[in-house]
Every structure is written in C-alpha cells, then in structure tokens.
Amino acid sequence: MSRPDHRLRPEVAPGVHRLGDHVVNFYLVEDPEGPVLVDAGLPGHLGQLLDHLAASNRSPADIRAVLLTHGHPDHTGLAHVLQQAGADIRIHRHDAAILRDGPRSAMRHAGPERSMLRYLLRRPAAIATPLHLARNGAFTAPALSAGPGLRVFGADQRLEDVPGAPQAVVLPGHTPGSAAYLFPERGLLFTGDALVTHDGLTGHTGPTLVCRGFTHDSDAALAALDRLDELTTATLLLPGHGDPFTGSPQAATDRARQLGRR
C-alpha cells in the first residue's frame, strides 16, 4: 500500500479531512461515534481513502454513513464500495435513481441545461475536467443496490442517527435532488455543487454557481442560494469543487449572485 499523501488530505477544520484532488473534493468528518463521509469522490480515489483510513488503523467498514450531496458520478464514485462495506448511503429521493441505474444515467435523470461544447469552444483547456473524471472511472462505477443500505430523504431533516446529527438541506437546481449538509454545532456547511469556489468549465475561482454546462436547472440553482442564507450557524463552507470558504453563507452567496448564471 502506498504511503498517504497528506498534501491531498489537509485537515480543513478540527476533525475534518479534505480528500480528492485538484478537481473533486470529498470529506471525512471525524466524530466520537464514528467517521462520516460527505460525498464519495471518484473510483480512482479508492486507494487514497484506504491509505487515509489505514493511517488511523481503520477500514471502510468503520465509516458509519455517506452523505451524498447529489447524484453526479464525480460525487458518488466510491458509494458502491462503501455500501458493500456496511455504510448507510444517504441521498435525496430525486437523485436516488442515478445511483440505482448507474452513473451514465445522470444525463437522463439530471441532464445539463446547456451543451458542454459551448464552454469548450470558448475555453479549450476546460476539456481537462471531463477527461480527468473519465480517467478516474467516473462513468464506470457500479450501480447501488436498493435496500436498507440506501436511504433517501425528501425534505429538510435532522439526521439524528448519523454521527454529529447533521441537517440535510434540500437545494434543487444543480440536480433535482441536490442537498447540503449542515453540522450546526461545528459551524460546518457542506455545499456540494449548490455553491462551489471553482468551476472547471469556466475556470472561475471564487464563490459561484456551477455553470449551465453541468447544471440541470440554473433558475432553481440561483433560487436555492436563498436557502443557504438561512443557515446562519455556518462559518465554514466546504464545496464539492474548490477551496473552503470562511465566513457566512450569505457572504458567499452574494458573490455568486453577482456572477449569476453562466
């Protein structure tokens, strides 16, 4: 087993480790009741996750729950492995079909509003993002089996049986079933792709909506920013793409609104 590369896994807050790479983030949240994973990266991140767990004498079987912010394949790549290891997989019901039908079904269940080609013609270097996802197995992960290990929610709710009792906040737009997870006692807000700080197609860095080449309904995504403003206990926003944002959700959403839909 290779040695862990801690440059890829800094502790971005006490007990919170940022996993993934320069394109995709997912997070391991430590809790006395057991670790929780927010999103599940790409299949190519399995070795990294195993190394990180092994460094503290743990394995995937120790992960209590996987909180998926949405069903896109760059956020669900290890969900099948972790379901097989015994973790509960949580996702909003409107994106659950992507997990059951496999990653290629995302175009059918949550297709983007615009063609990616328009962005690639404007910025050819953006091709690196979809190529990176493909090389890391984004479209080859197995579908998840229905049953007790796949648990869906349909509305905002406190997940009392998950370590840390996070609040699931429904934010449709980027996909029909996009959600954020708030750990209110720790000030942590995992925004997934409802609000990011880097867009791989446009190249923008800073709080923004994901562009329409990767977003299902940009009007709904813009409206969902109002929901984030209500989460006033959050002081650190942890997005699916880009660096953490320190400050209130509204400080980030105001900047995203200024940019608007792209």
Spell out the per-residue pLDDT of the chain, length 262, in tens.
233 343 445 799 999 999 999 999 999 999 999 999 999 999 999 999 999 999 999 999 999 999 999 999 999 999 999 999 999 999 999 999 999 999 999 999 999 999 999 999 999 999 999 999 999 999 999 999 877 789 999 999 999 999 999 999 999 999 999 999 999 999 999 999 999 999 999 999 999 999 999 999 999 999 999 999 999 999 999 999 999 999 999 999 999 999 999 9
**From residue 91, how far is each of 100, 144, 164, 185, 194 by CA, in Å?**
11, 12, 17, 22, 14
Arithmetic mean of pLDDT over the chain = 94
Q: Residues 77, 137: contact at Cβ < 8 Å?
A: yes
Burial 60-80 (b: 16+ CB within 10 A, else e): beebbbbbbbbbbbbbbbbbb
- Predicted TM-score (pTM) of the model is 0.94
Fold annotation for 6-259: Metallo-beta-lactamase; Chain A (3.60.15)
Please give the backbone phi and psi of residue 50, each rounded to the nearest 5 degrees, phi first. Answer: -60, -40
- What pLDDT is attached to residue 9? 58
- What pLDDT is attached to residue 111? 94
**From residue 156, how far is each of 57, 105, 182 by CA, in Å?**
35, 25, 11
Three-state SS sequence of the chain? CCCCCHHHCCEEECCEEEEECCCCEEEEECCCCCCEEECCCCHHHHHHHHHHHHCCCCCHHHCCEEECCCCCHHHHCCHHHHHHHCCEEEEECCCHHHHHHCHHHHHHHCCCCCCHHHHHHHCHHHHHHHHHHHHCCCCCCCCCCCCCCEEEECCCEECCCCCCCCEEEECCCCCCCCEEEEEHHHCEEEEECCCEEECCCCCCEEEECCCCCCCCCHHHHHHHHHHHHCCCCCCEEEECCCCCEECCHHHHHHHHHHHCCC
Residue-range domain boundaries for the chain? 6-259
